[in-house]
């Protein structure tokens, strides 16, 4: 996709928007079912530890507050609150060259889109204030994200009416699946910043999907593209025993 095409798309989007081995094979997956939350939590503490982060409540009309941040009780059942951000992922942290990184949108779309890093960063950005709920039972409140919205990426490729699911592709052949409805929620974005700082490699840089209202494994790190499909295609963790949707308020863990 040329720089001119991206700029034309970006200008149109601005107008539209202004009008409205993580534990090496997950530890050991027994009988095709993911490890229990207790075992995953133990590994989470060993692999990531707790780091000091800012719990902030931003103000300003440019920030969208995820609906779950307005709940009277923001901690879902079976979760505990942490002020840190444990590091969880499958395998090692990849060394991704931004000069070689691309983001591809394909599948049931009117036109396939391939963006390089400069084109991706030129897209309209939004800010989302949200909580994080990890399936390993920790929750981190008050996160501020910045990046292009999921709707922005979908509009670039003009998804076809028959598309019902999105397959999120990430480094190392990792995938996760979302319904189109969950993907297009207003608080879903592709983060390049967290708490006003560039996203770090261990937390998914150069680009991480953020789906605030589902368990955090759906917020794939090191994202490289999207495939819009008519049928569901369970991803890496979903085929290893994790719930296909992952609503933390319903405790859809496994």
Report the topology of domain 3-250: Sulfite Oxidase; Chain A, domain 2 (3.90.420)
| Per-residue pLDDT at 159 exceeds 70 | yes
pLDDT at 86: 75
pLDDT at 12: 53
pLDDT at 61: 77
* Residues 6+ positions from 19 with CB-CB distance below 8 Å: none
Q: Are strands 102-107 and 80-81 parallel, antiparallel or unpaired?
A: unpaired
Structure-block tokens of residue 230: 């008519």
pLDDT at 240: 96
- pTM for this prediction: 0.80
Mean pLDDT, all residues of the chain: 83
d(CA 189, CA 168): 12
| Per-residue pLDDT at 120 exceeds 80 | yes
Q: What is the percent of the chain with per-residue pLDDT over 90, rounded to a whole number?
A: 70
pLDDT in tens, 28-80: 333 333 343 433 433 333 333 333 345 566 767 789 999 999 999 999 999 99
Where are any strands of DSSP class E within the chain? 63-65, 80-81, 102-107, 113-116, 126-133, 138-147, 165-170, 174-179, 189-191, 193-194, 197-198, 208-210, 223-229
For the chain, the structural domain boundaries read 3-250
| Per-residue pLDDT at 233 exceeds 90 | yes
pLDDT in tens, 99-112: 999 999 999 999 99
Give mean pLDDT, residues 233-243: 97
Q: What is the percent of the chain with per-residue pLDDT over 70, rounded to a whole number?
A: 76
Cβ atoms < 10 Å from Cβ of 25: 12
pLDDT at 32: 38
3-class DSSP assignment, residue 42: helix
């Amino acid at each position: 996709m040329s720089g001119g095409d991206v700029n034309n798309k970006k200008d149109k989007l601005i107008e539209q928007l202004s009008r409205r081995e993580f534990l090496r094979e997950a530890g050991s997956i027994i009988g095709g079912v993911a490890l229990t939350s207790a075992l995953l939590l133990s590994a989470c503490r060993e692999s990531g530890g707790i780091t000091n982060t800012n719990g902030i409540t931003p103000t300003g009309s440019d920030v969208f507050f995820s609906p779950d941040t307005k709940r009277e009780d923001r901690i879902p059942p079976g979760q505990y609150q942490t002020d840190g951000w444990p590091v969880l992922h499958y395998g090692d942290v990849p060394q991704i060259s931004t000069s070689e990184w691309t983001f591809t949108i394909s599948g049931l779309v009117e036109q396939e889109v391939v963006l390089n890093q400069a084109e991706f960063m030129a897209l309209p950005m939004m800010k989302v204030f949200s909580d994080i709920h990890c399936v390993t039972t920790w929750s981190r409140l008050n996160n501020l994200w910045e990046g292009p919205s999921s709707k922005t990426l979908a509009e670039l490729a003009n998804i076809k009416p028959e598309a019902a699911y999105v397959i999120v592709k990430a480094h190392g052949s990792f995938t996760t699946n979302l319904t189109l409805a969950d993907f297009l929620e207003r608080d879903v974005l592709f983060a390049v910043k967290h708490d006003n700082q560039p996203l770090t490699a261990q937390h998914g840089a150069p680009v991480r999907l953020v789906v605030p209202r589902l368990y955090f494994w759906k917020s794939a790190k090191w994202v490289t593209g999207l495939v819009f499909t008519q049928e569901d295609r369970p991803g890496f963790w979903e085929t290893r025993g994790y719930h296909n949707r992952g609503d933390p308020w319903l405790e859809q863990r496994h």
